[in-house]
Amino acid sequence: MDRMLRIDMGAEGGPKATLTEVGEYAGLGGRALTSALVSKEVPPLCHPLGASNKLVIAPGLLSGTAAAVSGRLSVGCKSPLTGGIKEANAGGQPSQMLARLGYAAIVLEGKPKDETLYKIFINKDGVKIAEDNSLKMLGNYDLVDKLKGEYGDKIGVISIGPAGEMKMSAASIACTDMEVRPTRHAGRGGVGAVMGAKGVKAIILDDTGTKMRSPKDPDAFKEANKRWVEGLRKHPVTGQGLPAYGTNVLTNVINEAGGYPTHNFMWGRFEGCAKISGETQAELENQRGGEGSATHGCHRGCIIRCSGTFHDKDGHYVTKQPEYETVWAHGGNCGIDDLDAIAMLDRLDDDFGVDTIEMGATIGVAMEGGLAKFGDARAAINLVKEVGKGTPLGRILGNGAAVTGKVFGVERVPVVKGQSMPAYDPRSVQGIGVTYATSPMGADHTAGYAVATNILGVGGKVDPLKPEGQAELSRNLQIATAAIDSTGMCLFIAFAIMDQPETFQALIDTINTFYGLKLSADDVTALGKSVLKNERDFNARAGFTAAQDRLPEFFKKESLPPHNIVFNVTDKDLDTVFNW
Amino acid sequence: MAFDKKQDQRNSIPEPKLLLLVRPELAPVFYDLFQAGVFVHAKIGATIQAFLCDGLGLDPQYVKERIQTVFLNGKAVDGPTSAVIPDHAVIALSAAMPGLLGATLRKGSFYAAMRSEISHAGQAAVSPHEGKVLLKLFNLLPGEIGAFLLSKGVWIKGDTLKKFLEKHLPRLAKGCIRAEMDGKTSAVESLAQQEWPADQEVLLKVDIK
């Protein structure tokens, strides 16, 4: 991973690829690289869909190695949804393949002069960019099938669906999984619209003939990775809970806590939650697809295997196991308690190429605006189909909850910096509200997710049983998350490294032995801080102020049943989050 | 499922008893019931820890290490040894959960400050007496202790039981070796068809062969 592939999509005579050294970005991966590059090279006041924006696609530091669960791919740009900097990441095969092909990043620059659509093929022999207007408006599933027919079934694909081509702000970028299905999405912030604006429909990767990346100290790396794997396997979350039930195992517990946003954040509990819980979903998947259908990895080298496969009642494949956020967004948030309908919505989202969180939140706002009744699964499916067809209504919905709320005069619109909130109500768990408000990414549950601050020791000690310290905790979580996002590691490793200091050490040792470094926990913290500094600096130059680091007003005014609480962290406290 | 405050008066009416002997492969079907909750006997006024160890008979080590998340009436409990069970309590238990919230909701979590608004605080003393609580089990716990609790017997509202029998009838018919209703052998199909008083609790005991 010592080179970058820059493609000027607006070059005279057609797109032009240039190989460059990583240069000043050496030693960075994943989010650290995308945010450093965007912050340095993209004019903060540029139009996100214009020629000056850049789309950066970067594997993590350990992607393409034998390190377990190291296959996250980061995508960065100026976001058309938030207007600020964006990093969205996804699992699937492309991160491992891109790293094995030797690229630290692909950077799409410029903008084609017309509506021509391009595909980019990358293998060990180089890069080929070709016009292919036959791909126009194909859904991701048909697109990948067509590409498999042309390039074989050993490929990995990074692609956009019709939503990306139509430059919708909810558009995602799809990554294929181990079965070469477009099920893993860099969903947040409209990154798919930026890829669409660059005129790129698909990047096809073929790593045939490449080898796994070699560590500096192979024996020590092997030993560290072994400890790393053992640590993940023995932990009850990464070794048992997630493999058995996936992330949707959260539904029952968040609902019990009264923090499960229901009917567009009106209530904190959903009556039909047991019908769509992870436990119910896993039982249904195993029943329909055979034992083991609820346990599956999204990329080679994943040992957590939190995914699964959802079949219909006749045993036909519908989609991958919908994740907690998706089940919530299209389920409880819209009053829908039918797993088959939710799986169909997930399939449509993946096919059209839209973020499931943004889409579910948007449908919730649309329901409140009178477009459909809460609980009407058929209507929800039809609304998402409008997005895929690109009807005028679909174009509104495809631009997210904030736009939809404005168009239909809805006051309760759960967004920060224009991005929809995920599946945790900030009134019941106020610390997460601090992260929603202050993250440079907009409302994002993964922005402050890496629950390893106690191990990292960032920001000193906070008494866990005192209500003070929300800002400090949020800051520390955001720092730890930014660091992990840079490694290419799945965020779910956070639980094992939180509870098992020896597993955290194994992770550090894995990085050190691979690169021949002597990183300490302090260095990891410094990396996380530098990422956040780059991102906040970009946003400040893009015009963001403390006024954007706020939750919507209704969270302070409307109390949330059953605990009947409002968000009460003060603006003054929110403004201290990044005092370091 | 709301806790029925009139249940105490109805306890004087003999409760229906349903005993099932089932094949092992049928066990996961019953875990469904624990998500919505089952009623079990409890000493009201005792601590959660006493309820789990002395009442349910769980190993203290299992309670300490495996039951990472405890809710009492929807509030996250940090101290099971001090949290006291009031009348009409709903207790929910889970193994360790993923996600930031999963970590935040754990008992004694490092991140407890983030959910202080929904943390269980101390309550007024409750005079000790016998009663029932609604017990919910999530995540890995139904698979680990569900069968044990079912063999001891749990109470379920009639309408909940009817829905459960109807929903799982094909699998129950296949995996149930013997069914006894109030001491009389019954076919599972007829149990699913019969009328169950919606608000009356039924004692359900399940043995796995």
Q: What is the pLDDT of residues A510-559, one digit of tens each?
A: 999 999 999 888 888 899 999 999 999 999 999 999 999 999 999 999 99
- Predicted confidence at residue A454, as pLDDT, reads 55
Which residue type does A159 have? S
- Predicted confidence at residue B80, as pLDDT, reads 94
**Interchain proximity A469–B118, CB inside 8 Å:** no
> Residue A230: how many CA atoms within 13 Å on its side-chain side?
11
Report the percent of chain A where pLDDT is more than 70: 97
Q: How many CB atoms lie within 10 A of CB A370?
A: 10
- Predicted confidence at residue A472, as pLDDT, reads 83
Alpha-carbon distance of B187 to B176, in angstroms, equals 9
For helices A470-487 and A521-541, the axis angle rounded to 10 degrees is: 100
- Predicted confidence at residue A461, as pLDDT, reads 55
Residues 16 through 35 of chain B touching chain A, CB cutoff 8 Å: 28, 31-32, 35
For helices B27-36 and B141-152, the axis angle rounded to 10 degrees is: 90
Q: Tell me what the mean pLDDT of segment A403-429 comes to.
A: 96
Closest CA to A185 of A384, A352, A9: A352
Residue A455 has pLDDT above 90, yes or no: no
Residue B204 has pLDDT above 60, yes or no: yes
The mean pLDDT of chain A is: 93
For helices A356-368 and A377-389, the axis angle rounded to 10 degrees is: 120
Residue B2 has pLDDT above 60, yes or no: no
Residues 491 through 520 of chain A touching chain B, CB cutoff 8 Å: 492, 494-495, 498-499
Long-range Cβ contact pairs of B10-15 (< 8 A, separation 24 or more): B10/B199, B10/B200, B10/B201, B13/B200, B15/B155, B15/B200, B15/B201, B15/B202, B15/B203
CB A491 within 8 A of CB A30: no
Indicate the pLDDT class of residue A485, thresholds 50, 70 and 90: confident
> What ipTM does the predicted assembly reach?
0.90
Q: What is the pLDDT of residues A65-112, one digit of tens each?
A: 999 999 999 999 999 999 999 999 999 999 999 999 999 999 999 999
- Predicted confidence at residue A463, as pLDDT, reads 53
Residue A317 has pLDDT above 50, yes or no: yes
Residues 410 through 469 of chain A touching chain B, CB cutoff 8 Å: 424, 427-432, 434, 445, 448-449, 451, 453-454, 462-469
What the block records as the tokens of A105 is 């990043």
* Chain B nearest-CA residue for A255: B74
A448 by DSSP, 3-state: which?
A: helix
Pick A466 or A231 by higher pLDDT.
Answer: A231
CB-nearest partner of B100 from A240, A427, A451: A451
Alpha-carbon distance of A525 to B101, in angstroms, equals 22
Question: A279, A281, A337: which to substitute to probe chain B, counting the most B Cβ within 10 Å?
Answer: A279
Alpha-carbon distance of A358 to A169, in angstroms, equals 9
Burial of B50 (0-12, 13-18, 19+ CB in 10 A): middle
CB A519 within 8 A of CB A61: no
Q: Tell me what the mean pLDDT of segment A561-576 comes to.
A: 93
